[in-house]
């Protein structure tokens, strides 16, 4: 029977993670501060394309894995849960950095888009995150590829929407992040706590 609670839980978790600043969002912020709105929008589009490539690759890999062994799929889920907890703890222990790092090499929209795609494609953490996060909401008895593709695309869409908002409000956001240590600490605790909670929940459910 289809579990109607899974889409809602996934959306809530993905939305929470999308709106908490991470490396991708800070990259878009840096691009927007350095090159203006156009560069920020282009970099958002680039990271979105790169993220979708990771989604398709992970969907194909997990589909093949489940076809070969359901036990191996369970191992991936448990390992993914542990990785989420690790990311959460690492986020909580990270040092505050009030300055967004501006990528070098010019701020044209075309360059920003291309660097956004390459940055996301060559980021192994993006692939690992999708492999850790999305499988927690996959129903093994259904079409794994279609489920992963749908959930992964939704996650990328939410991340990109948040990035576009950041690009549009780059000036005020950068100023607030530089001036408010309390705000930076709050977003770090929110993001880290969400990752740990998701990892613990996924780990417990993976054993049942």
pLDDT, one tens digit per residue, over 20-76 is 777 677 778 777 877 788 888 998 999 999 999 989 988 888 777 767 777 777 777
Is the pLDDT at 185 greater than 60? The verdict is yes
Q: Rounded distance, CA 54 to CA 15, Å?
A: 19
Question: Is 184 inside a domain boundary?
Answer: yes
Is the four-CA dihedral 109, 114, 120, 124 of positive or negative sign?
Answer: negative
Confirm whether 15 is domain-assigned: no
Q: Are 81 and 200 in contact (CB under 8 A)?
A: yes
Percentage of residues of the chain with pLDDT beyond 70: 78
Range of the domain at 133: 23-206
Q: How many domains does the chain have?
A: 1
Residue 18 inside a domain? The answer is no
Q: What pLDDT, in 10s, does the model give residues 97-120?
A: 554 444 444 457 888 898 888 878
114-123, 130-139, 171-180, 189-198 — which one is most confidently predicted on average?
Answer: 130-139
Residue 135 lies in a domain: yes
Higher pLDDT, 170 or 106: 170
Contacts of 204 (CB under 8 A, 6+ apart): none
92: closest CA among 203, 194, 166, 204? Answer: 194
**pTM greater than 0.85 (yes/no):** no
Of 19, 18, 193, which Cα lies nearest the Cα of 92? Answer: 193
13 domain-assigned: no
pLDDT of residue 2: 43
Closest C-alpha among 95, 81, 94, 78 to residue 196 = 81
| The pair of three-digit structure tokens given for residue 73, joined into one six-digit string | 């799929």
In a domain, 3, yes or no: no
**Residues 145-157, mean pLDDT to the nearest whole number:** 93
- Count CB neighbours of 37 within 10 A: 14
- Average the pLDDT over 135-160 and give the result: 89
DSSP 103: P
pLDDT (tens digit, 9 = 90+) per residue, 63-105?
777 677 777 777 777 887 787 788 778 878 876 655 444 444 4
């Amino acid at each position: 029977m289809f579990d109607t609670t899974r889409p809602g839980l996934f959306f809530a978790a993905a939305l929470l993670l999308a709106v908490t600043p991470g490396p991708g969002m800070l990259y878009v912020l840096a691009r927007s501060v350095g090159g203006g709105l156009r560069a920020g929008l282009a970099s958002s589009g680039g990271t979105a394309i790169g993220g979708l490539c990771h989604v398709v690759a992970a969907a194909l890999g997990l589909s093949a894995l489940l076809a070969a062994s359901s036990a191996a799929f369970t191992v991936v889920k448990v390992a993914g849960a542990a990785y989420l907890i690790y990311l959460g703890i690492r986020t909580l222990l990270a040092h505050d950095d009030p300055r967004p790092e501006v990528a070098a090499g010019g701020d044209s929209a075309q360059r920003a888009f291309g660097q956004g795609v390459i940055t996301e494609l060559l980021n192994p953490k993006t692939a690992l995150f999708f492999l850790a996060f999305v499988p927690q909401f996959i129903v093994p008895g259904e079409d794994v590829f279609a489920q992963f593709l749908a959930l992964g695309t939704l996650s990328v869409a939410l991340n990109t929407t948040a990035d576009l908002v950041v690009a549009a409000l780059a000036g005020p956001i950068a100023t607030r992040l530089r001036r408010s240590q309390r705000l930076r600490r709050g977003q770090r605790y929110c993001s880290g706590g969400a990752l740990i909670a998701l990892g613990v929940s996924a780990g417990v459910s993976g054993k049942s």
